[in-house]
Amino acid sequence: MRHTISILLENAAGALSRVAGLFSARAYNIESLSVAPTEDPTVSRLTLVTRGSAEVIEQITKQLNKLVDVIRLIDLNEGSAIERELMLIKVRAIGGEQREEITRLAGIYGARIVDVTESSFIIELTGDSTKLDAFIEIIGAKRILEVVRSGVLGILRGTKALRA
Amino acid sequence: MSEKLRGADIFVRALIDEGVEILFGYPGGAVLHIYDALYAQDKIKHILVRHEQGATHAADGYARATGKPGVVLVTSGPGATNAVTGIATAFMDSIPLVVFTGQVPTHLIGNDAFQEVDCIGITRPCVKHNFLVERVEDLALTIKKAFYVATSGRPGPVVVDIPKDVTANVAEYHYPTSVDIRSYKPTTKGHPGQIKKAAQLILSAEKPMLYTGGGVVIDNAAAELTQFGRLLGYPVTNTLMGLGGYPATDPQFIGMLGMHGTYEANMAMHHCDVLVAIGARFDDRVTGDLAQFCPYAKIVHIDIDPSSISKNVRVDVPIVGGVANVLGELNKLIKESGREPANRETNPWWRQIREWQKLECLAFDRSSKLIKPQAVVESLYKITGGDAYITSDVGQHQMWAAQYYKFDQPRRWINSGGLGTMGFGLPAAMGVQLAFPNERVVCITGEASFVMCVQELSTCLQYDLPLKIVSLNNRYMGMVRQWQEFFYERRYSHSYMDALPDFVKLAEAFGHVGMRVENPSDVEGALHEAFALKSRLVLMDFITDQSENVYPMIAAGKGQHEMHLAPSASDRELA
């Protein structure tokens, strides 16, 4: 099963490599990973998406907790959470008909066109991963020049917060 | 007003303030400032090894025997990489080490400088934690943190990588008395509700089994465990790492378990209805095939490391906490219950265990004209009265030592259980002897393992370490040969130790005493003679039966009850 784990990590040199190294050393997989400092510059928040049975996920969270640089973590699957991913997608857009269709699709998905040239658009889209996948699908591989995704971010609904 | 010191002097002062007495090391370019500072003091004894692997194993042996952290200082690059095997050895067995590695100056890091290696990257998967000290101002606090992390919670090795310029720069010296790390708060007290639940389950058992590991030794919980066992009257088995945690001569002790455990211990594990795992981690060498492991048992697991719980085997009552602490609480509850200990004469479970014991799975041929390795260990046990510190290397001799030397006290049996590092025994014995100059320290080894760190014989001469080295020389990598005999139709591929040195001359060349023993009738005499040479290191080369195997044996991936028995024991098998 797919799990999204949010981790508060010391914002120290090498801390990220400890997390990544743990996953490779124990043969766990990482589907996506995003990391940036929080409002407290000494703390980074890392969100990773992984897959595994309940036993494997339990081991992953225990092993992560064991890392000295990990301050706190939460498995977002244990509560109701909001997940978002940002995507920038560069597409070939030549001719009025094609440009109109892409603009229309972007509108349907609530995406924004943030760069326009004579032959291309860059479209910005946020949403959960399935929405981004669907947009890529509908645009079609033939038209796509480049895709960049941020990896998943997640936060629990309600007042419960993950804090250092 | 605190004083200003050079980094190298801060390093030495911090170690003194931390209470470090012995430092195992080897100098080199990146640590020359530190070596210069060491030259100017006499509080810390520096032991010059002959290879950095020896430094880490020696510090490890020191730590295992004393319970104090072992401390190592090596240079950058090859100094650091040579130390890695020893660091990984300590990591697998949860031994507190603090290993200081030199590093090239900060402005050269990443430059492929001379003797540069990414020590933090290389050691990351085999340390509890590691630190790169980037500023001299951080040095003292980092050293404090390193000792704290290494020795608290589930202990382990910590590496501190110190660039050369950090040891030359100057800062105010202040060594904190305590340290708080917000991201590191090990749990030591067990949850009272879980402890109560465990006590109820334990007291309700009809076929109980206590399975205890290295955690008992590490947490100094042998007294609590012994009380726990005796209050209940239950059978006790130890893992390879747990030997000495419960007295081996106690009638409730039914031997080691696992791949080369006793028949009775493994059978009792298989048939028990309540298993109490204490400071043990359900290693594959213990469990065999997980699908067949303890099929009838409810399991209580006490461990300080939450990630050890339900890692390999789902347990019914997990208790995260220090073993000594939790056992202390359990002992109170058991006393309050007013329960009498199980009676070994009348209890049906004990009667069953006695039936299994009748097989005498550790019996061996005593009439052989060749020296039986088991007999050497038995004689050693007899002659030392069970009162020696025993280190071992890895292989058949290690298993015979574990099976035939009865450890009544913790921290007496010192071996590389998790990583299985050949070459561990000799340097580890040095560390033990340095910690206890007046105790008898014996390294049980084999001719293959022994030569892996043989250069440390030179260190032993320099520091007058009167080790007794018992080499069970079968001219094979015995355990490899045994597996090849059992599982590869006797194709002895590269397991033969051709062109061995003359070990007597080897010992003599290093300034020690060498003995070669070829007849069974000479074994005891040789041991007596060696121990009589109180101030000398004696290397005893016992020429043993080449074909001897370690029994019982559970093949990898088989169930606990599926043991290969010694040919003689198989004849006795009643079932």
Supply the pLDDT for residue B573. 57
Domains and CATH numbers, chain A: 2-78 (3.30.70.260), 82-153 (3.30.70.1150)
Whether the CB of A38 is below 8 Å from some CB of chain B: the reply is no
Alpha-carbon separation of residue B428 from A24, B63, B83, B453 (angstroms):
31, 9, 14, 10
Whether the CB of A34 is below 8 Å from some CB of chain B: the reply is no
pTM of the model: 0.96
Contact A59 B311 (CB under 8 A): yes
**From the list A13, A21, A58, which residue is nearest B125 (CB)?**
A21
Identify whether B52 is a catalytic site residue.
Answer: yes
User: Are the C-beta atoms of B416 and B403 separated by less than 8 Å?
Assistant: no
Q: Report the pLDDT averaged over residues B525-534.
A: 98
**Which residues are paired to B302 by β-bridges?**
B278, B319
pLDDT averaged over every residue in chain B: 96
Q: Give the gap in angstroms from C-alpha B95 to the nearest C-alpha of chain A.
A: 16
Distance CA B446, CA B546 (A): 12
Given a cut of 50, whether residue B374 has pLDDT beyond it is yes
Structure token digits, residue A139:
């645009």
Confidence grade of residue B575 (pLDDT, cut at 50, 70, 90): very low
Residue B280 gets the label, from left (phi > 0), alpha (psi -120 to 50) or beta, of beta
- Which residues of A, range 6-25, sit inside 8 Å of B by Cβ? 10, 13-14, 17-18, 21, 25
Neighbours of B282 (CB within 10 A): 23
User: Are the C-beta atoms of B56 and B428 separated by less than 8 Å?
Assistant: no
The distance in angstroms from the start CA to the end CA of chain A is 28
For chain A, the farthest-separated pair of C-alpha atoms sits apart, in whole angstroms, at: 57
Supply the pLDDT for residue B1. 52
Given a cut of 60, whether residue A89 has pLDDT beyond it is yes
User: Which residue reads 């065999």 in tokens?
Assistant: B288
User: Are the C-beta atoms of B17 and B66 separated by less than 8 Å?
Assistant: no
**From the list A17, A59, A71, which residue is nearest B124 (CB)?**
A17
Cα-only R_g, chain B:
24
Contact B307 A68 (CB under 8 A): no
Distance CA B457, CA B202 (A): 49
User: Are the C-beta atoms of B554 and B361 separated by less than 8 Å?
Assistant: no
Structure token digits, residue A48:
């990773």
Distance CA A125, CA A134 (A): 11
User: Which residue reads 């509700």 in tokens?
Assistant: B193
Q: For residue B187, what is the nearest residue in chain A, using CA coordinates?
A: A66
Residue pLDDT, tens place only, B243-302: 999 999 999 999 999 999 999 999 999 999 999 999 999 999 999 899 999 999 999 999
Nearest partner of B194 among B329, B335, B318, B332, judged by Cα: B318
Given a cut of 50, whether residue B93 has pLDDT beyond it is yes
The C-alpha angle with vertex B143 and arms to B158 and B57, in degrees rounded to 5, equals: 40
Q: Report the pLDDT averaged over residues B395-420.
A: 98
Supply the pLDDT for residue B567. 85
Given a cut of 60, whether residue B157 has pLDDT beyond it is yes
Please list every residue in chain B whose beta carbon sits closer than 8 Å to the beta carbon of residue A54. none
User: Are the C-beta atoms of B95 and B60 separated by less than 8 Å?
Assistant: yes
Given a cut of 60, whether residue B116 has pLDDT beyond it is yes
Q: Which of B41, B45, B114, B206 is catalytic?
A: B114
Contact B181 A68 (CB under 8 A): yes
The C-alpha angle with vertex B279 and arms to B274 and B284, in degrees rounded to 5, equals: 80
Supply the pLDDT for residue B187. 86
